[in-house]
Chain A
């Protein structure tokens, strides 16, 4: 038997450079990656160009004033377009959603990772994930017909009659569909994503530190407060921002539940409209100049979402860097 090297019958080393298959494969993958950027840029550029006449016509008042009175011209901009009430509608409903969903998600995650036995925890975790699989139009219908009129409205009325007497923005009258109702249903919709990330981070708490805390005679709550929560903080912030991204863009359920009014908010219990909502509700009957204005609202929504994501990354980087640095040194 000769040496093993001959088994493959390899030719002498060639000098033709990399194989062309490999080069083409790499190019194909690069194209796949670039396509995302190309689509994103194309979308932003074409919407901005189309919306530009409205931006030029309204100036900063497009985002600083609230009168939304579309004209019917095909060629000019004749109406007045101030999207502030829609911007506020989106921000208020998203804020309410996070205010409810984040504490709930942290509580769920703590329960799942620190308290529940696997026989209870696993099915519950699946159930929370399932909330994400429900189509948003179903959430909208359920909220519209059952959840809000039966359960939520009486509670909101109670709040308006008690807290509302002293706390601004919580006073009545309470209409059936309002900022608060949209925010509450939105909270249920963003709960799964926030819980999933938070739970994942909490399950990574170093067991040695948990045992160290217990060995000093800490109760479960003291251990959680000293070890689990500080370690999970960057993850919770990241999860919150993911949830916020989802809440800002949610369209159908919010449009169904927010009440559909263009007035400026003076209380959380009045009807309003969100950016995504006004686009979805009005574009079908919109005049050509109104379409341009709706595109403008879309551009503003996109910019706000980008800003939120950038702030999220900064926050995670700033707080996460510190905690990870502790562990790394």
Chain B
């Protein structure tokens, strides 16, 4: 039986948000998020549009820093350090907490270079061919691209491009991989392949996945956090539990209404 989120401790905790608020200018986008994420598990963030689930996700690797008006209050603890402390370099954080985006965004480089580039800037000194191959294998893409590594990343299909993006993320050997609706731009077959892939990846990585698709959360995740938008338009965490519990015995009435499709 998987442990309850309240019982996560230093032994199995990957990252934790404590009383986190995110603002865009004067607008509070999410409020008072406290949540522990388990190591080597898949945690899904679900909720209606505008509930702030992507904003929360992007706080975990400081991608919000790229929006000049964004501001984070509270703490995100990673190995005991608050990643928003002044003496923490966001570059360092992103090397350990990687991200896969909603739309596949390969670089305008060859397939090989797409994977090798991140590792190289991270100071990888080993055998690059080997790393590229093992990363592409982990992303279940190797067999499809091994004969055309020098072709442009854009020559691949959408699903392959997304697996290429996963491969380049894996190549920098992060602890945690954040996925922001990684299958929303893909067809059902490609979506299932990515979901299978995510199951394999949790052996080595902690995965947090934002999804619009409740079936996906139910199928593919171990834990589910349900977010909603409050009357002041700020997103907040409604309920967080083991995925089977969320989908069979939700404690909150809103959660039940959402998963049974009555809003959202």
Chain A residues touching B, majority SS: helix
Interface size on A, residues (CB 8 A): 24
B68 within 8 A of A: yes
CB within 8 A of A219: which of B61, B91, B106, B118? B91
A213 within 8 A of B: yes
CA of A226 to CA of B154 in the docked complex: distance in angstroms?
A: 16
Interface string of A209-248 (1 = CB under 8 A from B): 1111111111100100011001100000000000000000
A205 to B: closest C-beta gap in Å: 10
The reply to whether A218 and B154 contact each other, CB–CB distance below 8 Å, is no
CB within 8 A of A217: which of B66, B106, B122? B122
The reply to whether A215 and B107 contact each other, CB–CB distance below 8 Å, is no
B105 within 8 A of A: yes
A329 within 8 A of B: yes
B178 to A: closest C-beta gap in Å: 8
Given contacts A231-B108, A326-B152, contact A216 B118 (CB under 8 A): yes
CB within 8 A of B105: which of A117, A212, A219, A226? A212
A163 within 8 A of B: no
A134 within 8 A of B: no
The reply to whether A216 and B101 contact each other, CB–CB distance below 8 Å, is no
Residues in A with CB closer than 8 Å to B118 are 216-218
B168 to A: closest C-beta gap in Å: 7
CA of A227 to CA of B92 in the docked complex: distance in angstroms?
A: 20
Interface string of B41-76 (1 = CB under 8 A from A): 000000000000000000001010010100000000
Interface size on B, residues (CB 8 A): 30
B83 within 8 A of A: no
Residues in A with CB closer than 8 Å to B193 are none
Residues in A with CB closer than 8 Å to B96 are 217
Specify the chain A residue showing the minimal Cβ separation from B113: A226
The reply to whether B107 and A226 contact each other, CB–CB distance below 8 Å, is yes
B12 within 8 A of A: no
Given contacts A226-B107, A230-B108, contact A215 B117 (CB under 8 A): no
CA of A209 to CA of B117 in the docked complex: distance in angstroms?
A: 13
Residues in B with CB closer than 8 Å to A231 are 108
Given contacts A211-B63, A231-B108, A326-B152, contact A216 B94 (CB under 8 A): yes
CA of A231 to CA of B107 in the docked complex: distance in angstroms?
A: 10
CA of A218 to CA of B95 in the docked complex: distance in angstroms?
A: 8
The reply to whether B63 and A327 contact each other, CB–CB distance below 8 Å, is no
B121 within 8 A of A: yes
The reply to whether B91 and A217 contact each other, CB–CB distance below 8 Å, is yes
The reply to whether A227 and B107 contact each other, CB–CB distance below 8 Å, is yes
**12 pairs from A and B in contact (CB 8 Å cutoff):** A212-B165, A215-B101, A216-B168, A217-B93, A217-B95, A217-B98, A217-B172, A219-B91, A227-B108, A327-B108, A327-B154, A329-B152
* A residues whose Cβ falls under 8 Å from a Cβ of B: 117, 206, 208-219, 222, 226-227, 230-231, 323, 326-329
A215-B98, A323-B108 given; 8 more Cβ-contact pairs under 8 Å: A209-B108, A212-B107, A216-B94, A216-B172, A217-B94, A217-B172, A218-B121, A327-B154
* B residues whose Cβ falls under 8 Å from a Cβ of A: 61, 63, 66, 68, 91-96, 98-99, 101, 103, 105-109, 117-118, 121-122, 152, 154-155, 165, 168-169, 172
List of 8 A-B pairs having minimum Cβ-Cβ separation, nearest first: A217-B95, A216-B118, A208-B105, A215-B99, A217-B94, A212-B105, A326-B108, A222-B121
